[in-house]
Amino acid sequence: MGKIAFLFSGQGAQYSGMGRELTEASAAARELFQLADRLRPGTSSQCFEGSKEELTQTKNTQPCLFCVDLAAALALEEQGVRADGAAGFSLGEMAALTFAGMLEQEAGFSLVCQRAALMDDAARQADSAMAAVLKLDNQTVEGLCGRFQQLYPVNYNCPGQLVVAGLREEIEALGPLVKEAGGRMVPLAVSGGFHSPFMSAAAESFRRELEPLSFSPGRIPVWANLTAKPYHQGEAKALLASQMESPVRWEQTLRNMAAEGFDTFIEAGPGKTLSGLVAKTLPQASVYHVEDAKTLETTTKAVLEE
């Protein structure tokens, strides 16, 4: 086995009941949720019992996902599975940085709450949305977006999958063009046009929130969405703020990690979205995920026995 990477899920992966089994199976996960409930009362109940509509609201989605992502990674580590590096998709990058020790848990969670409020407010300023365009190459999708005034290619997920953000009416108008080009479009369960100019005001406010914080070097490297390269000392604040209004270079991140010797990827958090992106980008890689007691057990056993 080469190096092991923990990958942290982003918005769109949330579902009611997420995280409950992790708190039952792991003391570290349980302590994290207790911390979250002290800082933001009701976080656990939102994760465990919240409705789909409630969990889709960005102000709720991000704190809840952060907790489940980080809880899954802490539970894995508690079982003896060690990560050599990490990356997180959008919101997941905050969990990755916290897991790596660049931020303390309390600071990481508080920062996520601030980020969520800013992005939620920005999303309300325009009727924006996101959709994944499948089965087309990036250049074709970029060309289609160029035919609209406020439509942007934002998440470069894997070969044949590029997420776009834009005004809802323009995304709806894009659908027939995608079909005509031989592709397929799938709306995403998010509340705004993230990683695009729609988030510029939120990104600027977030820069001010980040200014007084101190980031530690971290115990493992974390790959940044913005650059697809590991964070270096002193650049965390700039990267995190710009990430909100810039494309996520996920496919390139995975390829860069593979070039550094990573061949085992474990998705920490709800769902298997990132696992699928790894499989499509790096078909030779070993891919696992952890989101509940069963996947914690099976993944731990598989990885430790390799």
Catalytic amino acids? 90, 195
Which helix (H) or strand (E) covers residue 14, if one does? none
Q: Which of 134, 172, 171 lies closest to 152, judged by CA?
A: 171
Beta strands in the chain (DSSP E): 3-8, 85-88, 128-134, 151-158, 161-167, 184-187, 222-223, 262-268, 286-290
Q: Which of 187, 142, 140 lies closest to 168, judged by CA?
A: 187
Q: Give the torsion through C-alpha atoms of 115, 118, 119, 120, to 10 deg.
A: 120
Distance from C-alpha of 52 to C-alpha of 230, rounded to nearest angstrom:
34
Distance from C-alpha of 285 to C-alpha of 47, rounded to nearest angstrom:
31
CB 116 within 8 A of CB 61: yes
Query: Residue 4: helix, strand or coil by DSSP?
Result: strand
CB 10 within 8 A of CB 253: no
Question: ∠ CA 39-239-196 to the nearest 5 degrees?
Answer: 90
| Cross-strand partners of 268 | 8, 290
